[in-house]
């Protein structure tokens, strides 16, 4: 077993780039990752690439060889698809491969191009992450599914739309200094409350935007980093994944996300830490309620207590446990197949001290990233630690 180090991270600015090809987006992210890593492209032994709807958005299947070309690497290249957790599973397989000692250097990340499609086609495209027969044909949209979970949560534990508006407001505030974020503007709780409904109880500012973007990470073994005297102080010490029934209605609970519970348990066990060791978190807030569910699955809050975390200031930038200092999917943006890699990139920068929001977590040693697919039928959790 080898320890896995993050040698370099690269992102495109997240936002609306309808005219840019997917291959150019991933090329930019990879270029930045190699610059950050100071690792030779010729040393890359595998490319693990996440993408969800490229077949719809660009009429382009079989994207992995194309992205290997774009990144300038020639090695086994594979596309991973797990809806919004596509990059999360790509990174997880990279971590496992390096940890197992099979290879020393992997390029992992993902890309999604979305804004070139009309909004209704994106809505339809995202809905296919749910069960087509028994959910989508019954009128369930992607926001609608999370709205079903939000109402189930309110019914089980209490909570209000205003609690969720505090999550939106917090994440928008965090995005303001982040040069990679799509929406670098504050949104007040009142503005969020007054926004038009999408799927009640979720309104416009409860939802992440439609985003183009890419993420790339250069992951290396500790031995490789030491041999080349790389500046790679952050290690991925834990990885975990969980799967649940595809359709929301088939889950044990509509107000919980057991796949993420399983992923978190496995990742913490792998890292040999408990949830109480976590100093900072990046979680999958595709909708504000999703952040609440994530915090509870990660064991950072008891069931029913995550809803008040933003309102009470626990998870704000100045709180005891800052969550989504990047701005989250909510304000930084959610290029579906890139998000899992982006979360690791942001967490690495936060722990290294070179993120614009690092000053809020100067002593952070342990970070956790939570990436979810669909309505959390898939979940991936990673633990990152400052190793030196």
Minimum distance from residue 171 beta carbon to other proteins (Å): 21
Q: Which of 196, 276, 318, 363 binds other proteins (CB under 8 A)?
A: 196
Instruction: Measure the CA–CA gap between 115 and 57, rounded to whole angstroms.
Output: 9
Task: Report the alpha-carbon distance of residue 5 to residue 221 in Å, rounded.
Answer: 6
The verdict on whether omega for the bond into residue 156 sits within 30 degrees of 0, i.e. cis, is no
Residues 6 or more apart whose CB falls under 8 angstroms from that of 381 comprise: 238, 239, 240, 241, 260, 263, 264, 266, 267, 298, 368, 369, 370, 371
- Tell me which residue of 291, 384, 381 sits closest to 88, measured CA to CA: 381
Question: For the packed helices 22-37 and 63-71, what is the interaxial angle rounded to 10 degrees?
Answer: 50
Q: Which of 125, 242, 340, 374 binds other proteins (CB under 8 A)?
A: 125
Nearest residue (CB) to other proteins, 98 versus 130: 130
Least distance from C-beta 159 to other proteins, angstroms?
A: 13
313 φ/ψ sector (left φ>0, alpha ψ -120 to 50, else beta): left
- Give the x/- contact pattern for other proteins in 142-161, rule: CB under 8 A: -xx--xxxxxx--x------
Number of residues that bind other proteins (CB under 8 A): 40
Could you say whether residue 136 binds other proteins (CB under 8 A)? yes
Residue 208 is among the residues annotated as catalytic for this protein: no
Give the C-alpha separation, 368 to 166, whole Å: 21
195 belongs to the binding site for other proteins (CB under 8 A): no
Identify the bridge partners of residue 373 per DSSP, sorted by sequence position.
378
Applying the rule CB under 8 A, the residues between 334 and 363 that interact with other proteins are none
Q: Reduce the DSSP state of residue 263 to 3 states and report it.
A: helix
Nearest distance from C-beta of residue 198 to other proteins, angstroms = 5
Q: Hey, which residues between 235 and 274 contact other proteins (CB under 8 A)?
A: 245, 247-250, 254
Residue 133 binds other proteins, judged by CB under 8 A? yes
For the bound state, the minimum distance from the C-beta of residue 156 to other proteins, rounded and expressed in Å, comes to 10
Q: Where are the beta strands (DSSP E) in the chain?
A: 4-11, 46-50, 77-80, 105-112, 197-199, 202-203, 213-221, 234-243, 280-282, 366-373, 378-386
Q: If we measure between CA atoms, which residue out of 304, 379, 372, 376 comes closest to residue 153?
A: 304
Q: Contact with other proteins (CB under 8 A): which of 3, 45, 124, 191?
A: 124
Q: Is 193 in the site for other proteins (CB under 8 A)?
A: no
Nearest to other proteins of 8, 373 (CB atom): 373
Considering beta carbons, is residue 36 or 206 the nearer one to other proteins?
206
Residue closer to other proteins (CB basis): 121 or 305: 121
- The answer to whether 70 and 27 have CB atoms below 8 angstroms apart is yes
> Residues 56-95 vs other proteins: string with x where CB under 8 A?
x---------------------------------------
- CA distance linking residue 25 with residue 211, whole number of Å: 12
Active-site annotation holder among 166, 172, 284, 334: 334
Does residue 141 interact with other proteins by CB under 8 A?
yes
Answer yes or no: 334 catalytic.
yes
Interface residue list for other proteins (CB under 8 A): 56, 117, 120-121, 123-125, 127, 132-141, 143-144, 147-152, 155, 196-202, 245, 247-250, 254
Residues belonging to the active site: 84, 334
């Amino acid at each position: 077993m080898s320890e896995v180090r993050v040698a370099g991270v690269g992102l495109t600015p997240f936002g609306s780039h309808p005219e840019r090809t997917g291959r150019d987006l991933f090329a930019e992210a990879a270029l930045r990752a190699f610059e950050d890593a100071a690792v030779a492209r010729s040393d890359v032994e595998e490319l693990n690439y996440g993408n969800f709807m490229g077949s719809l958005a660009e009429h382009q299947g079989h994207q992995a060889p194309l992205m290997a070309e774009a990144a300038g690497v020639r090695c086994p290249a594979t596309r991973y698809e797990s809806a919004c957790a596509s990059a999360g599973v790509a990174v997880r397989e990279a971590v496992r491969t390096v940890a197992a000692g099979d290879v020393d250097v992997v390029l992992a990340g993902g890309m999604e191009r979305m804004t070139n499609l009309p909004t209704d086609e994106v809505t339809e495209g995202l809905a296919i992450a749910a069960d087509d027969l028994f959910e989508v044909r019954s009128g369930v949209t992607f926001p609608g599914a999370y709205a079903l979970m939000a109402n189930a949560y309110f019914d089980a534990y209490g909570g209000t739309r205003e609690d969720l508006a505090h999550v939106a407001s917090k994440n928008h505030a965090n995005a303001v200094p982040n040069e990679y974020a799509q929406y670098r503007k504050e949104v007040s709780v009142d503005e969020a409350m007054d926004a038009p409904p999408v799927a009640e109880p979720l309104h416009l500012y409860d939802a992440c935007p439609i985003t183009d973007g890419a993420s790339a990470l250069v992951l290396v073994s500790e031995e490789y980093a030491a041999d080349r005297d790389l500046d790679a102080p952050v290690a991925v010490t834990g990885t975990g994944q969980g799967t649940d029934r595809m359709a929301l209605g088939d889950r044990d609970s509509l107000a919980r996300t057991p796949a993420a519970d399983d992923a978190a348990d496995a990742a913490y066990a792998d890292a040999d830490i408990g949830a109480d060791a976590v100093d900072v978190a990046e979680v999958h807030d595709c909708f504000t309620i999703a952040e609440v569910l994530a915090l509870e699955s990660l064991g950072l809050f008891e069931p029913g207590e995550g809803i008040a975390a933003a309102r009470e200031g626990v998870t704000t930038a100045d709180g005891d446990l800052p969550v989504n200092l990047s701005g989250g999917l909510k304000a930084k943006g959610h290029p579906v197949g890139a998000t899992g890699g982006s979360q690791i990139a942001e967490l690495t920068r936060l722990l290294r001290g070179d993120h614009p929001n690092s000053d809020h977590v100067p002593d952070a040693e342990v970070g956790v990233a939570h990436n979810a697919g669909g309505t959390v039928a898939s979940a991936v959790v990673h633990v990152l630690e400052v190793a030196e």
